[in-house]
């Protein structure tokens, strides 16, 4: 399949390795990856912080950039959630019927990486090898916006050599929440404290998730504690091979 | 509710966040109720259909609220009750005060009622020389402690049993030996409350539901104190928000399944009292229903915010909320805490008085998932945030930064320049390969979290470099 990679500004700027891993993984599975270079930010931070009108030009820009792609894949549940759940609202707010229908046509083609692999490409076993003790954090947007359910766990479970440990209280938010993490820093950190405790309780050496934003938050806390647990995006584990 | 601006949530939350005993009490209590709820809801194969029905009935109520309210007034009057209309808290309080005075009473017993707390009724009665006695165990605890409720259903959730024992020994069980065993504590409260019930001439209650068709009012409770208040005194005054209507009696079928399972995690609550006007020789012989607006029609007028009025005060959203579980209810500054409070309070009070509340959420969506009437709380939070930024000053720093960023993101060239600028600018903050302290609005991040510096190469630069190498190879 010809896949347009929606890298997300967050990964592009802060976690380019996730993009590299996503590209290598998709190519290894026989897909052709395009990277529409005009892409910038989906507008999630603006929309969620209340700058909904300000996000409209970004929605328009996204639609123009990815307009013709057959499938659009992003290594981020939360940015895909933005497109799927909130783009219709942003488009409606713009009052532009053209944008409303363009968004409608776009949405069925946008996938989160794991969702694309399992639901669209039909693979669970991607030929990955990762001989480490790993726990998986189900991010809120994976769970409650995209309803990914068991998809990420199935992908990880099929990885050769992996020792997968379930994270206690897996459905609870880690406390990131975008600008919540700075606007309500104390509460965010209190939530992080409990999440970090759950992660440490698993004895895992790697914490994995489908969003680097949550991982930056939990990982930032673990790093401050010198906890000895590293964070990796799902794509980075799935891209890893034995040879 | 107070007329001044509420304290900012981030500041108000600090108190609870620093109180380890409170954190422990809250975590234990919310987890227990949350798990019970999940078990009870899991039993019903048609739970989603019930939620949809609940939501549809409430949507219909909101659409035709004017008609249903008049229908209710007529039905209550026909059944021998008196209906009063209160535009705001002051009007409601003066109506109630006059009614109590007319009944010649100096004290009233109260069924737990958020609506009377919303209007500050106890204090208003006190000013008129009338004592209101809370009869719900947790409300009594709060009243004795001189505190405010921190949970819709379990007002004293922030207190553990040894704290309650100490409180009782200071107040209603002075000089008594008392352990912290719950049956013993309940027995002390029961003895005290029995005297109050038997001596009261007037009771004040809230209402969970009122049926427009029949004029029937319902109170759903667990302890039986409600039943006492609703049946023993000669005069009953019920204060009800205008949104608590149900069109038909048969709608109870839906709501009496949704409410107990969502709130206490029970299949059915122990006491459900239904009454229609007055019945000669049975129960209160005078019944007053005070219908309260107090900002509700303002909420109703907002197409997105309106769903907030569907709330049946079950508190499932509080118990599931990771923010509430850590900050407790007091941080929300109103009688409606938790996710529902974060959307209801700013709409009732006016957004300018509670503009940090719509931000008191990580938007995790757990509240929406458990809401028995499917209030899309995250949607309303975002809607209210939109209102906050629209009305902010043009010189608001965050607004300036956000508008700048939007301009940057709207152009690939500007976006890429900003990436490069960031890599250069961060040099000021990187120490030993990590960023441990950030300035200004970002300082909250680095209070407990490190940040990895921006890598030398962005993804797009890697992509371009790879393409260039491939082209070279193929040429």
Q: What is the pLDDT of residues A196-217, one digit of tens each?
A: 999 999 999 999 999 999 999 9
Instruction: Give A180→chain B minimum CA distance, Å.
Output: 6
Question: What is the residue-averaged pLDDT of chain B?
Answer: 95
CB B59 within 8 Å of CB B310: yes
Copy the structure tokens of residue B304.
């997105």
- Top residue of B445, B459, B469 to mutate, by most chain A CBs within 10 Å, is B459
For residue B154, name the pLDDT band (cuts at 50, 70, 90): confident
pLDDT at B2 over 80: no
A38 in contact with B at a CB cutoff of 8 Å?
yes
Enumerate the residues of chain B whose CB falls inside 8 A of the CB of residue A190: 17, 23, 326-327
Q: For chain B, what is the largest distance between any 2 Cα atoms, rounded to a whole number of angstroms?
A: 102
B359–A180: do the CB atoms touch at under 8 Å?
A: yes
For residue B50, name the pLDDT band (cuts at 50, 70, 90): very high
Q: Who's near B328: CB < 8 A, 6+ residues apart?
A: B16, B22, B26, B150, B157, B158, B337
pLDDT digits (tens, 9 = 90+) for B325-361: 999 999 999 999 999 999 999 999 999 999 999 999 9
Copy the structure tokens of residue B415.
């976006």
Q: Is A5 helix (H, G, I), strand (E, B) or coil?
A: strand
Residue B343 has a pLDDT of 98
B363–A48: do the CB atoms touch at under 8 Å?
A: yes
A20 in contact with B at a CB cutoff of 8 Å?
yes
Task: Write down the residue that tokens 């960031």 correspond to.
Answer: B422
Q: Give this complex's ipTM.
A: 0.97
pLDDT at B310 over 50: yes
Nearest C-alpha in A relative to B415: A40
A185–B17: do the CB atoms touch at under 8 Å?
A: no
Residue B4 has a pLDDT of 81
B459–A19: do the CB atoms touch at under 8 Å?
A: yes
Instruction: Give A238→chain B minimum CA distance, Å.
Output: 18
pLDDT digits (tens, 9 = 90+) for B159-204: 889 999 999 999 999 989 999 999 999 999 999 999 999 999 999 9
A36 in contact with B at a CB cutoff of 8 Å?
no
B403–A51: do the CB atoms touch at under 8 Å?
A: yes
Give the range among A86-90, B313-317, B365-369, B393-397 with minimum mean pLDDT: B393-397
pLDDT digits (tens, 9 = 90+) for A180-197: 999 999 999 999 999 999
Residue B440 has a pLDDT of 86
CB B211 within 8 Å of CB B176: no
Any idea of the CA torsion for B283, B288, B291, B292, to the nearest 10 degrees? -100
Q: Which residues of B438-467 are buried (b: 16+ CB within 10 A; e: fewer)?
A: beeeeebbbebbbbbbbeeebbbbbbeeee
Tally the C-alpha atoms within 13 A of residue A135's C-alpha that lie toward its C-beta.
Answer: 23
Residue B471 has a pLDDT of 87
Nearest C-alpha in A relative to B357: A184
Question: What is the residue-averaged pLDDT of chain A?
Answer: 97
pLDDT digits (tens, 9 = 90+) for A118-171: 999 999 999 999 999 999 999 999 999 999 999 999 999 999 999 999 999 999
% of chain A surpassing 90 pLDDT:
99
B360–A184: do the CB atoms touch at under 8 Å?
A: yes
| Cα separation values, B176 from A43, B160, B283, Å | 63, 19, 35
Contacting A residues, span 113-172, partner chain B, CB-CB under 8 Å = 140-141, 143-145, 171-172
B412–A38: do the CB atoms touch at under 8 Å?
A: yes
Does the predicted model carry a pTM greater than 0.90? yes
Sign of CA dihedral B102, B108, B112, B114: positive
For residue B3, name the pLDDT band (cuts at 50, 70, 90): low
% of chain B surpassing 90 pLDDT:
91
Residue B1 has a pLDDT of 45
Tally the C-alpha atoms within 13 A of residue B401's C-alpha that lie toward its C-beta.
Answer: 9
pLDDT at B80 over 90: yes
Residue B112 has a pLDDT of 85
Q: Is A136 helix (H, G, I), strand (E, B) or coil?
A: strand
């Amino acid at each position: 399949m010809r896949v347009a990679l929606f890298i997300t500004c967050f990964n592009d700027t802060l976690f380019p390795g996730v993009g590299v891993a996503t590209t290598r993984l998709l190519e290894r599975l026989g897909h052709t990856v395009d990277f529409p270079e005009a892409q910038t930010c989906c507008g999630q931070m603006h929309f969620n912080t209340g700058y909904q009108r300000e996000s409209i030009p970004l929605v328009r820009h996204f639609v123009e950039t990815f307009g013709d792609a057959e499938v659009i894949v992003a290594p981020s549940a939360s940015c895909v959630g933005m497109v799927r759940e909130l783009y219709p609202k942003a488009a409606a707010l713009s009052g532009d019927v053209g944008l409303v229908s363009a968004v409608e046509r776009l949405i069925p083609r946008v996938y989160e990486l794991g969702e694309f692999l399992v639901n669209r490409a039909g693979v669970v076993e991607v030929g990955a090898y990762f001989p480490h003790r790993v726990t998986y954090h189900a991010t809120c947007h994976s769970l409650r916006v995209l309803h990914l359910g068991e998809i990420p766990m199935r992908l990880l479970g099929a990885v050769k050599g992996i020792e997968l440990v379930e994270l206690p209280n897996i459905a609870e938010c880690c406390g990131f929440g975008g600008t919540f993490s700075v606007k309500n820093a104390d509460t965010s950190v209190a939530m992080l404290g409990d999440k970090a405790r759950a992660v440490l309780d698993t004895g895992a050496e790697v914490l994995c998730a489908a969003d680097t934003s949550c991982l930056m938050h939990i990982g930032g806390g673990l790093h401050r504690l010198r906890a000895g647990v590293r964070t990796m995006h799902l794509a980075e584990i799935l891209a890893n091979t034995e040879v | 509710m107070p007329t001044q601006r509420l304290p900012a949530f981030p500041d108000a939350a600090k108190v609870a966040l620093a109180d380890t005993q409170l954190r422990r009490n809250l975590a234990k209590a919310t987890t227990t109720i949350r798990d019970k709820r999940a078990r009870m809801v899991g039993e019903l194969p048609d739970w989603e259909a019930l939620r949809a029905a609940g939501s549809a009935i409430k949507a219909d109520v909101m659409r035709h609220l004017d008609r249903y309210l008049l229908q209710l007034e007529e039905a209550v009057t026909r059944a021998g009750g008196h209906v009063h209309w209160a535009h705001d808290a002051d009007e409601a309080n003066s109506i109630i005060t006059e009614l109590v005075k007319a009944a010649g009473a100096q004290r009233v017993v109260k069924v737990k009622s958020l609506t009377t707390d919303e209007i500050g009724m106890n204090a208003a009665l006190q000013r008129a020389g009338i004592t209101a006695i809370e009869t719900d165990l947790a409300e009594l605890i709060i009243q004795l402690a001189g505190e405010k409720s921190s949970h819709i259903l379990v007002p004293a959730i922030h207190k553990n049993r040894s704290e309650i024992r100490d409180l009782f020994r200071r107040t209603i069980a002075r000089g008594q030996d008392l352990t912290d065993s719950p049956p013993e504590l309940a027995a002390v409260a029961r003895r005290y409350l029995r005297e109050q019930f038997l001596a009261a001439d007037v009771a004040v209650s809230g209402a969970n539901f009122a049926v427009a068709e029949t004029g029937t009012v319902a109170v759903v409770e667990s302890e039986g104190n409600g039943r006492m208040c609703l049946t023993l005194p000669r005069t009953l005054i019920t204060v009800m928000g205008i949104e608590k209507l149900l069109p038909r009696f048969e709608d109870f079928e839906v709501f009496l399944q949704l409410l107990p399972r969502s709130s206490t995690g029970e299949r059915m609550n122990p006491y459900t009292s239904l009454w229609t006007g007055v019945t000669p020789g049975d129960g209160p012989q005078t019944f007053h229903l005070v219908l309260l607006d107090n900002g509700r029609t303002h909420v109703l007028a907002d197409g997105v915010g309106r769903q907030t009025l569907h709330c049946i005060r079950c508190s499932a959203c509080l118990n599931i909320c990771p923010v509430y579980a850590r900050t407790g209810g007091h941080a929300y500054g109103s009688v409606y805490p938790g996710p529902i409070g974060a959307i209801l309070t700013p709409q009732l009070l006016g957004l300018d008085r509670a503009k940090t509340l719509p931000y008191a959420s990580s938007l995790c969506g757990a509240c929406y998932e458990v809401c028995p009437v499917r209030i899309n709380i995250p949607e309303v939070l975002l809607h209210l945030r939109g209102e906050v930024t629209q009305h902010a000053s043009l010189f608001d720093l965050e607004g300036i930064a956000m508008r700048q960023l939007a301009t940057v993101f709207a152009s690939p060239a500007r976006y890429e320049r900003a990436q490069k600028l960031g890599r250069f600018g961060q040099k000021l903050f990187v120490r030993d390969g990590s960023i441990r302290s950030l300035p200004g609005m970002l300082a909250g991040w680095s209070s407990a979290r490190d940040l990895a510096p921006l890598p030398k190469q962005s993804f797009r630069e890697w992509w371009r470099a790879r393409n260039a190498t491939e082209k070279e190879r193929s040429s």
